[in-house]
Amino acid sequence: MGTSVLIGLLVCLVYDVSGKAVIVHKRSSTCYGDLGCFSTSSPFFSIQRPINFLPQSPSKINVRFLLYTRQNHDNVHFINMNDYTDITNSQFSGGRPTKIVSHGFLENGFVKWMKDMKDAFLTQGDYNVILVDWGGGSKLPYTQATANTRVVGALIAKLIKFLQERGDAKPQDMHIIGHSLGSHIAGYAGERTPNLGRITGLDPAGPYFAGTDKLVRLDPTDATFVDAIHSDGSPLITLGFGMMQPVGHADYYPNGGNNQPGCDKDPISSVLVEGSLYNGGKQYVACNHLRSYTYFTESINSRCPFTSYRCKDFDSFQKGLCTDCSNNNCGQMGLHADLYKPRAGTVNTKYYLDTSANRPFCRYHYQIQVTIGSTSKLWRGKLYASMHGTKGEIPDTLLTSSSQYFTPGQSYRFLATAPHDVGDVNDVVVHWHHQSTLLNPFQWNPFGVRNPTLLISRVHIAHASKQSTFCTRGKEGSLETDTTVRLYRKC
């Protein structure tokens, strides 16, 4: 492919009349044959992108497409788009869905997580799985890698067209999954592919993309259905590599979209767990960012559905205010997100969920609403509960993040999770621990003379679309500090 560089300079520093340095952008573009031309002008030059490079040539980036199917599960077939007979001589079938997976910055198409995802796909269904290797263009500096994503996206779009023409594939059956920079690569490919079925962004890269025009980043117009998992949305200054900005029809924010459980290991522990200095260092620096593809891979064959809840923010979700799955309020993070799409015409729908710190990461969520009896006294402390169901139980769990006051006649909502579905809940056991505050002498009990007692009127449990109310055999359950009371479904 011929290269034509119209203007070589990207930016230059000049000084205005006040003596302040300002950045002046000089328009620049380059063309790569049938991939078209790429310019550094607006919107690719912006305040979010003060230094902007042209993408390198396809030969420099050296994109390779690695095809796997159930017929060649462990024997890669490198797709050759210059040979029209290549697809007909491969195991590719246009009659089955195709999964296209792209890595991000500083990686290549042979990294372990991509192999693990490929294996999970081929276990789950009869797919064509194509791993995209653009390791030649994902290297330092980051600004060059971001520019190269545009060429990689164009080549994936060219691949899809090739598979349509030579392999009888349909764009509706195509699903592109990209991690970090790979998310925006998927967006560029989708922008060039009419009727592309689906794009999944795995923690879309934030630096140079967050807050930019939709032509620069992944957005809902890039495919019929776009979903994204946000796992590292903290600011870059605190080593957050993802973005909190919603980019799809459905955007999933596990644990609020940053600070994933289990990602607080020290460097030595990370190396010991991962088994090598490289992998351990990568986990230590970018654990939150990497969790997005770990969650997605687990979701492919998980019996636990990664149920997620539409909510205005994570704080409201943690308070147990959004666990009702009626009225299309729930989704499923991961592969099966397309089974529970938001209503037609809606975009940027935010879903929240909690995960475990270790595999398996999926959790089942239960809203627990505790109503204090109207004749109870005002007490302060911590509340705990356990549940017993037809399929298992949730052991004694702290419901309050800290000590709080319990006002007579008031209801309080909490969120509890379990690694398994407990089935139909048969009973709930509640206990609490009285804890006074120095600022309120009426709560003091220095010699244990009093027995601070809460009166529990009822407990309401909501899980997905199931709801049950529990109460004691008496009018109200008398709950002294550090004792328990059991509530049943039949009051």
What pLDDT, in 10s, does the model give residues 159-215? 999 999 999 999 999 999 999 999 999 999 999 999 999 999 999 999 999 999 999
Q: Is 203 among the residues known to form the active site?
A: yes
Q: Which one of the listed residues 184, 289, 365, 431 is annotated catalytic?
A: 289
Q: Which residue(s) pair with 349 in the sheet?
A: 250
Query: Given CA atoms 337, 116, 74, 177 in this order, what sign does their dihedral have?
Result: positive
Active-site annotation holder among 138, 180, 302, 457: 180
Digit-coded pLDDT (tens) for 68-122: 999 999 999 999 999 999 999 999 999 999 999 999 999 999 999 999 999 999 9
Lowest mean pLDDT among 233-237, 261-265, 279-283, 446-450: 446-450
Round to whole Å and give the CA distance between 100 and 243: 22
Mean pLDDT of the chain: 89
Query: Which one is catalytic: 86, 133, 203, 232?
Result: 203
CATH of 364-488, one of 3.30.1490.20, 3.40.50.720, 1.10.10.60, 2.60.60.20: 2.60.60.20
Q: What is the pLDDT of residue 200?
A: 99
Counting Cα atoms < 13 Å in the Cβ hemisphere of 338 gives 14
For this structure, is 289 an active site residue?
A: yes
Least Cα distance to 416 among 356, 371, 465, 366 occurs for 366
> Which pLDDT value is given to residue 476?
77
C-alpha span between 428 and 89 (Å, rounded):
61
Q: Output DSSP code: residue 334.
A: S
- What whole-number percentage of the chain has pLDDT above 70? 87
- Domain residue ranges of the chain, discontinuous segments joined by +: 58-353, 364-488
d(CA 214, CA 194): 17
pLDDT, tens digit (0-9, with 9 covering 90-100), for 125-142: 999 999 999 999 999 999
CATH no. for 58-353: 3.40.50.1820
Q: Which residue has the higher pLDDT, 348 or 19?
A: 348
Dig out the tokens for 162 from the structure: 């090739």
pLDDT > 90: percent of the chain: 78
Bridge pairing between strands 364-372 and 307-310: unpaired
